[in-house]
Amino acid sequence: VKSPLEITVQSAGGFASIKVAENEVSPGGVGYNLVVLDPGNGRVLAAQSFNTGAEAAQSAALAEFVAAIPSGRIVAVAGRGQAGANLSAAAIAALGSLGLNGDLRATPGWVHAAVGVKGAAPGQALEQAAEGFSFVHLGPNADKRTLAAAVDFVKMTKVEP
């Protein structure tokens, strides 16, 4: 996945975050949150959440939404809550068309974070599905902390072989 802007996706039971160039763009809803980006400039083209944990009909809506995305568009995905509880085979196939390989249907308590491209083969996305917390980052180092060290004394001794 190549992007003109930094993308960070975090997913946990209580939140779903998608940041583009450090700006929050995720709808943040319960279930799957998808953000479609222009691959040329990183501009957000669409953002929608689907409560696939509570409503089976939302699984069909997710599949229809993904089907309408043109090939080559970048799509960031963050699951919140029990996003996999009511996923259909059609929704899994739709997520697969973004390069995703994860299937949360049989993994209660697992969450999903990914950045894929519409038209990619399953397994080609930057993706993490795990219990409790998932994180993916595309771009320079996501850790922006300033690191420092203080040294009080250094002694160097020549060691003879």
What is the rounded distance in angstroms from the CA atom of residue 64 to the CA atom of residue 26? Answer: 19
d(CA 117, CA 71): 7
pLDDT band of residue 25 (cuts 50, 70, 90) is: very high
Q: Which two tokens stand for residue 83?
A: 């996003």
What are 111's two structure tokens? 């969450």
Please give the Cα distance from 21 to 25 (Å, whole number): 10
Question: What pLDDT was estimated at residue 1?
Answer: 83
30-69 residue pLDDT tens? 999 999 999 999 999 999 999 998 888 999 999 999 999 9
Neighbours of 32 (CB within 10 A): 32
For 149, half-sphere exposure in the C-beta direction (CA atoms, 13 angstrom radius) is 3
Please give the pLDDT value at position 38.
97
Contact 38, 136 (CB under 8 A): no
85-122 residues labelled b (16+ CB within 10 A) or e (exposed): bbbbeebbebbbbbbbbbbbbeeeebbbbbbbbbebeb
Does position 106 have pLDDT exceeding 90, yes or no? Answer: no
Residue 149 confidence class, pLDDT cut points 50, 70, 90: confident
